[in-house]
Amino acid sequence: MNTIVVYKSKYGSTKQYAEWIADELGCGTADAGKIKANDLEPYDAVIFGGGLYAESIDGVSLIANNFDMLKDKKIIIFTVGLTDPGHERYYRSVAERNLGHEILSEVKIFNLPGKMIMEELSFLHRKELGVLKAFLSKKKELSEDGKMLLELCDKSNDFMDKEAIMPIIREFKEQ
């Protein structure tokens, strides 16, 4: 199957996963910011990965806004974020909000663990996290999700794991 892995990555974790996946599948990668939907026409399968920012899948509009053109291809989407991939309720709501039911019923989606190194963040991102932290800290009672978020936005974390790509690879090899 003629396959391409397309990614949108601000600090390199999604790009790293895209490269690991492409290596395993023996296919190429492309930066979503440098291609147009028409460039995907020659491929039978498109794997798209985007980092999570405030619950948005970075760059996924390339797939969502062009789904009519892409829907006859095999489409796999993966997110990369700090939230534990085992947090099903969180990821279900992220997927629904970013893609909607119609697209979700036609694609497979996987959630991979990312990293965030405080010293690497842009001024704007640090500020965003500071605002989020101040907002959460002021709350009298925090839900479990709120506590998790407060902990994650407060320090560097690196959950990158090459093994996490295996369900995506199996999805292809078991065809």
Ligand X SMILES: Cc1cc2nc3c(=O)[nH]c(=O)nc-3n(C[C@H](O)[C@H](O)[C@H](O)COP(=O)(O)O)c2cc1C
- Interface with ligand X by CB under 6 A: which residues? 9-14, 51-55, 80-83, 114-116, 121, 125, 128-129
Name which of 52 and 107 has its Cβ closer to ligand X. Answer: 52
Length of the chain: 175
Name which of 11 and 172 has its Cβ closer to ligand X. Answer: 11
Q: In angstroms, what is the minimal distance from the CB of 144 to ligand X?
A: 15
DSSP letter at 44 equals S
Q: In angstroms, what is the minimal distance from the CB of 116 to ligand X?
A: 4
- List b or e across 157-170, with b for residues whose CB sees 16 or more CB atoms inside 10 angstroms: bebbeeebbeebee
Q: In angstroms, what is the minimal distance from the CB of 81 to ligand X?
A: 3
Q: In angstroms, what is the minimal distance from the CB of 159 to ligand X?
A: 8
Q: In angstroms, what is the minimal distance from the CB of 174 to ligand X?
A: 27
Name which of 126 and 170 has its Cβ closer to ligand X. Answer: 126
Measure the CA–CA gap between 77 and 54, rounded to whole angstroms. Answer: 18
Our CA dihedral for 118, 58, 43, 64, rounded to 10 degrees, sits at 170
Measure the CA–CA gap between 54 and 97, rounded to whole angstroms. Answer: 12
Name which of 39 and 158 has its Cβ closer to ligand X. Answer: 158
Closest residue to bound ligand X by CB: 114
Triad 19, 122, 162: Cα angle to 5°:
25
Cβ–Cβ under 8 Å, residues 16 and 39: no
Beta-bridge partners for 156: none
Q: In angstroms, what is the minimal distance from the CB of 61 to ligand X?
A: 15
| Residue 69 CA: distances (Å) to CA of 36, 43, 143, 156 | 12, 12, 41, 39
Name which of 60 and 116 has its Cβ closer to ligand X. Answer: 116
Name which of 53 and 135 has its Cβ closer to ligand X. Answer: 53
